Amino acid sequence: MPDNSSYLVVPVFALWLFVLVAVGVLAVVLVTMMLRARKGRRLAVAGVDPARGSLPEFEKNGQSAAAALVQWSPETLRHILATELPDAQVIVVSNREPYIHNREGDDIQLVVPASGLVSALEPITRACAGTWIAYGGGSADKLVVDKNDRIEVPPDNPSYTLRRVWLSEEEQQGYYLGFANEGLWPLCHIAFTRPVFRASDWEAYEAVNRKFADTVVAEARNERPIVLVQDYHFALLPRMIRERLPEAIIITFWHIPWPNSEVFSICPWREKILDGLLGSSIVGFHTQFHCNNFIDSVDRFLESRIEREDSAISYGGQISLVHAYPISIEWPPAQLGKLPDVAQCRRQVREKFGLAENVKLCVGVERLDYTKGILDRFNALDELLTLHPEWIGKVAFLQIAAPSRGTLPAYQQLYEECLRHAEDLNQRYGREGYTPVLMITEHHSQQQVYEIYRAADVCMVTSLHDGMNLVAKEFVAAREDEQGVLLLSMFAGASKELLDALIVNPYDAAMMGDALLQALTMSQEEQSQRMRRMREIVRDNNVYRWAGSMLLDAARLRKRDAVDRAVSAAPAAPANVISLLDRRRVAAL
């Protein structure tokens, strides 16, 4: 009979090994549970409720995995504020104000500017019942505010406070027209316009940023407001606020592109601008590409520690997150409720501009700015009519170009070039009863703009370089009939979302001409399929999601700050244990 004892050694050894591993795992679980219970007691003693659900850790770019499943609305924002940010004061800071009061004879007229920034932020501030701080530039602005320079808006349904800041003509000239728009604007846009930097403009820019910082501190009801700083007018403001309100959550959103580090090096005050922005808890851009450019600039010019995987920068003892938050519009746009159906809008617009029923209408809507590619649209139309003369008399282009920064030489030159180009096209291709280019250099209300969107067969958004460009999203939102074609520049941030548009390179006139022909000849069925998908994207990724993502990130930061304070106030940990607060301090070195 064979001896099998040697075959029993391995199974018995495996059994004992399994038992030992199981006991070890159980011990680890018990120790973990005890540590969590102990931490919960410590947080409770410190005034932090451990039973309250913590926010899920966000993915890159400030987006959570569950965000796409949420139906974002004003109610969603109010819920976030009530549950995640109770008693939080929301302060918005921008150069442009959402409501302007102008004197018209003996009367005061209220103007709502047609601005992408205003259209994005106004519904947010309404939903949050916040405070909006802005430059008061209307001729009657001072006549309608109270003794504290405040006014409740909107007039028909007051929902938040507008606090106006007054600037002298010299301040406005140096800070706004000078450094912001002759310096930073061309620096950040690849439109081949040379930036102009003057020491006097920089001094005005610093002074105005300081004035706005004083106003933010005066409006803050406590030491921990949530401050939403908007755009390139206030690069220094976050640091100035941080110095006086160190516990504030400051989210700075840069609405225009951020250049690569080589281009940014042109700016004489590059380190001060980066230092100012890194006073923010979060620095936001439209796209990850612009986030990467900003991080590269910091890496090149400041002594800092960068965690690229987490999109975080440790600088001066503070951590700043750098996230992408693609901005959007209100859904559904409030203006649509004031307009007739698409067919009626089409009839009204065609009657107003003298267009025959068989003429296809292409539109462009924006400020008169050299970054918007207006001349390139004219070149595309020229290309189309040259190669396909059968379209002469059958297509017209309506350009709505609101006057902007008209005192600056680059804008004066653009205006003259646009008029000359439009006149040349009309002379070469126009005929009795037919004008191929209609250029209207007047301000239009949002309601008028949406009426034009609804009447258009093609909307051309051909930015040479843009942060997002909300015209593309407004056009899509205006077309519940699911008709119309969006022709969209690859250099606009919206092209990363609206993939069913006809994506073009505005520098390629031949490509633009071909795309315009494709748009004019596209079947109604294909238009409907493309428009339906784009409308779903704009509906789901609306402005409330944009704001909600930032507010949720703000809530996460406030919770972490509460934990840090609780940990620092708790009894000292063993010598071989490093607290979360200490790890953050080490990371900032």
Radius of gyration of the chain from Cα atoms? 28
DSSP 3-state of 126: helix
Helix crossing, 374-387 with 409-429: angle to 10°?
20
pLDDT at 20: 66
Query: Model pTM?
Result: 0.84
- Give one word for 210, left, alpha or beta, with left for phi > 0 and alpha for psi -120 to 50: alpha
DSSP 3-state of 428: helix
* CA–CA separation, 548 and 24 (whole Å): 44
Closest alpha carbon to 471 in 399, 411, 540, 530? 399
Q: What tokens were used for 94?
A: 């921008």
Residues 6+ apart with CB under 8 A from 518: 502
DSSP-assigned beta bridge partners for residue 363:
398, 459
pLDDT at 77: 83
* pLDDT, one tens digit for every residue, the chain (589 residues): 455 544 444 455 556 666 666 666 566 555 555 555 444 443 333 333 333 333 333 334 445 545 556 788 888 888 888 888 888 899 999 999 999 999 998 899 998 876 667 777 887 788 888 999 999 999 999 999 999 999 999 988 999 999 999 999 999 999 999 999 999 999 999 999 999 999 999 999 999 999 999 999 999 999 999 999 999 999 999 999 999 999 999 999 999 999 999 999 999 999 999 999 999 999 999 999 999 999 999 999 999 999 998 899 999 999 999 999 999 998 999 889 999 999 999 999 999 999 999 999 999 999 999 999 999 999 999 999 999 999 999 999 999 999 999 899 999 999 999 999 999 999 999 999 999 999 999 988 889 999 999 999 999 999 999 999 999 999 999 999 999 999 999 999 999 999 999 999 999 999 999 999 999 999 999 999 999 999 999 999 999 999 889 989 988 888 887 777 777 666 665 555 444 444 444 444 3
* CA–CA separation, 574 and 327 (whole Å): 46
Give the amino acid at 184.
L
Among all chains, which residue has been given the structure tokens 């939403």? Answer: 228
DSSP 3-state of 550: helix
Helix crossing, 342-353 with 446-455: angle to 10°?
100
Domains for the chain: give ranges and CATH numbers: 72-322 (3.40.50.2000), 334-539 (3.40.50.2000)
Q: What tokens were used for 103?
A: 């004197």
Residues 6+ apart with CB under 8 A from 232: 180, 184, 185, 188, 254, 255, 256
Give the amino acid at 205.
Y
In what helix (H) or strand (E) does residue 586 lie, and over which residues does it extend?
helix 580-588
pLDDT at 416: 97
pLDDT at 216: 98
Helix ranges restricted to H, 430-508: 446-455, 470-478
